[in-house]
Every structure is written in structure tokens, then in C-alpha cells.
Amino acid sequence: MDERVREHAEVLVDWSARVEAGDDVVVSVAEDAHELGVAVAGALGERGANVTTLYGSAELSRAYLKGAEAGADDGRDGDGGDEDDGNGSDEDDGNESDADGVPDFDDDPAVERALFAAADAYLRIGGGRNTTATADVSSETRQAYAKARKGVREARMDTDWVSTVHPTRSLAQQAEMAYEEYREFVYDAVLRDWEALADEMASMKDALDDGETVRIVTERDDAPDTDIEMSIAGRTAVNSAASVAYDSHNLPSGEVFTAPYDTEGEAFFDVPMTIDATRVRGVHLVFEDGEVVDFSAGAGEDALASVLDTDPGARRLGELGIGMNRGIDRFTDSILFDEKMGDTVHLAVGRAYDACLPDGESGNDSAVHVDMISDVSADSRLEIDGEVVQRDGTFRWEDGFDG
């Protein structure tokens, strides 16, 4: 086994999830992530944790969802499963399919919800065989399934959860990289001095915590302009340093994010992304009174529309994120990496994270959370309360900043 796999496992267990002896840990392992799964299981055993493993297969998820569609077309009942892990129930939940042939999924799958409710930590290790395995599942089925999984998703997010990926050939292909090259890329992003990066990102967190409004402006000859303003008053930014101790749940990480509201203006996202197994690029959103009132995309517009039509909260922002991990030096069509890259900002429509909200206050609520990314390495500025904090990808505390 490559020693970097063991190092990855140790960072995940110790720095990211902060697992202790006696913790109940659920580990979901994708089809081609077996090697990292083995290393993680070994690390958890050494630390005296209790482990339950799940098989996180996108191919199983596709089979389940396509089967549910077939059952709905035949007028049979549907039942619940887990899209991330591909675990379905063999029991009939008594819900009939909708008249339009969309499966009516169980909105309270008690066994799965109880599993996460009893867990201290959840580790999701991605790395499947096909990054577009569920491409032929209808958007209506996706929406119905996302809405039905809300209770499970909330139980899972109440744990000390962390998501990471094992470098696989399918992910390398999606990133348009040689497999060996992609492995180097992943480990450069994951095996970092996270404590030092956390200290650096604290400057951005402080600026957001002290601010009331954020404005993002880009002016380019080859793309639509961005000029968007949002309120952040009363919010708490998260210094996302790849550890639950920082309210951070991705490895790698390296971003500072908050939960904006009262959004006005328009934004263009030039970084391609995959949404529901569909390639989406050139997204343009127009906001009025905090809500998306117009949108377009150069490719994948139907997938974008499906997201925005999921529920009312899907047309409002749940996140403003600022990428600060300069160990990520290229786009890979993976949100786990791309949104953390230095010289980027991203906005997510849908659910806001509780860590950014005052106690007792509910932020934007939605069954989805979809990030869209802009490259701000040139012809751009980010302002907080009218003061430029980042220009052309350089922060005001970095060498070369031109205020």
C-alpha cells in the first residue's frame, strides 16, 4: 500500500473527524475506494472506535432509482434507500407511486435514520467506477428522492461527518488527467499542514464576521459581468480547515464560507461543474429580493432548472465560499476540490449550514445545496462593506495586493 494512503487515513480519522476510543463510526466506502477504506478501518481499530461499514455505490443507487421508476410506471409501491450509499430496503413502505409515474419514496426510513442518529461520526469515502452512473435517472425522480431523504440527511449531518475521496481512475478521467498525475494532485491537496492553513484563513473569517455586506464584481470582455451584493450581518463565517473542530466537513478543504441573504444583482459562473451527472457550464443567475428570478446556462440548463425547481429554498443562496487552498492548482470537475481552489469564489443555492447561523435562527432551508464557482484570478474584486479585501485573486494581507 502506498504510504500516502495510510497518511490520508490518519488525517481523516485524527485531524478531520477527531475520532476517540469508544466512538461509534459509520464508514461508507465507494466501489474503487477499497484501499483507503482498509486503511481507515485499520486506523479506527487502533484508536478503539466501533465501526459500521456501508457500501457507497453509485451503480447500486442507479439500480435502485431505476427500479423505483419502473415500479412507479407499473403502479406499484415505492420504498426508501440512500443515494450516497446505495442501500435500499426490501420492505414495502405502503406508499403508492404518484399519478405521473414519479416514485413516492418513504419520507421516514426509520432504520437508516436510526443508524445515523446513533452514530458519533460518519466518514464518506468517495471514489466510484463511473462519475455519471446515475445520468439516466429522471430529474423528477431525483427531486422526489432528495426531498424524501431530508430526515436521513439531517441525522447524518448531526454527526461529526467528513467526506473525502480516494484517487481513482474514473476521477482522473473526469479531471482529464493521467491516473498517476491525479494521485499526485489529490495528495498535494489532502496532505497539508492544516493547522498553518487554518491560521492563514482566520484573517478571511475575521473580515466576514465583522462585515455586513459583501459585493463581488467581475468585468471581462469574454464573459458576462458579475455584480452581486448580499448581506452577511449577524452571520458567523466558518474557517473550513478540514476538521470538525472548525465546523469543517470536507477533506481536502481550504475555504472560508458563510450564509448570505438578501441577495441582489447577477452572477456568472465560468467554472464547469457536474450537476446530477450532467455537465453544466456558463451559468448566469439574476437575483431580486434574495431569489433567483432568471437563469441561463451555456450547457446543462435543464439540470440547472431541475435544481432550482426542487423547492422554494432552492432559488435562494445558502452559502458564499472563498477558496484558499493553493495546493489545489487546477479545476477537476469535482466540487470537493474545485470550490477550495485559491483564486475562486463560489455561491451555493439551497440549504444554509447551521454553523453560520445564530442560535435559534433558521437559515435558508432546502433539500439541495449546489455550489457554482467563479474564477476570480483576474479582472475581479471582492468587497466587504465597500473595502476591497481581494483583487484579482490576491488577498489584502498577501504580497502583491493592489488595493
Q: What is the CA radius of gyration of the chain?
A: 21
132 burial type by CB count under 10 A (0-12 exposed, 13-18 middle, 19+ buried): middle
Element containing residue 347 per DSSP (H, E): strand 344-350
What per-residue confidence (pLDDT) applies to 359? Answer: 87
Q: Is residue 19 part of a domain?
A: yes
* pLDDT(78) > 60: no
* pLDDT(311) > 90: yes
User: Where among 139, 162, 190 does a domain terminate?
Assistant: 190
Q: What percent of the chain has pLDDT over 90?
A: 75
Q: How far apart are CA 373 and CA 272, in angstroms?
A: 8
What per-residue confidence (pLDDT) applies to 284? Answer: 97
Domain of residue 316: give its range.
194-395
* pLDDT(154) > 70: yes
The C-alpha cell that represents 41 in the structure block? 478501518
pLDDT tens per residue, range 98-118: 546 789 888 778 899 999 999
Q: Are residues 121 and 252 in the same domain?
A: no
pLDDT tens per residue, range 326-380: 989 899 988 899 999 999 999 999 999 989 999 888 889 998 999 999 999 999 9
Q: Are residues 142 and 77 in the same domain?
A: yes
Neighbouring residues of 318: CB distance < 8 A, sequence distance ≥ 6: 259, 348, 349, 350, 351, 352, 353, 363, 364, 366, 369
User: Where among 135, 166, 190 does a domain terminate?
Assistant: 190
pLDDT, the chain, mean? 90
Q: How far apart are CA 371 and CA 269, in angstroms?
A: 10
Beta-bridge partners for 284: 268, 296
Q: Are residues 114 and 210 in the same domain?
A: no
Q: Is residue 402 part of a domain?
A: no
* pLDDT(94) > 70: no
pLDDT tens per residue, range 228-254: 999 999 999 999 999 999 989 999 999
Q: Is residue 400 part of a domain?
A: no
Q: How far apart are CA 357 and CA 346, in angstroms?
A: 19
The C-alpha cell that represents 204 in the structure block? 478571511
Stretch 59-72: mean pLDDT: 92
CA-CA-CA-CA dihedral for 150, 156, 157, 161, to nearest 10: -150
Model-wide pTM > 0.75: yes
Residue 93 pLDDT grade (very low, low, confident, very high; cuts 50, 70, 90): very low
Q: Are residues 178 and 198 in the same domain?
A: no
The C-alpha cell that represents 227 in the structure block? 455584480
Q: Are residues 109 and 177 in the same domain?
A: yes
Please give the tally of structural domains in the chain. 2
What per-residue confidence (pLDDT) applies to 274? Answer: 87
Stretch 123-135: mean pLDDT: 92
pLDDT tens per residue, range 189-220: 999 999 999 999 999 999 999 999 999 999 98
User: Where among 174, 190, 206 does a domain terminate?
Assistant: 190
What per-residue confidence (pLDDT) applies to 363? Answer: 87
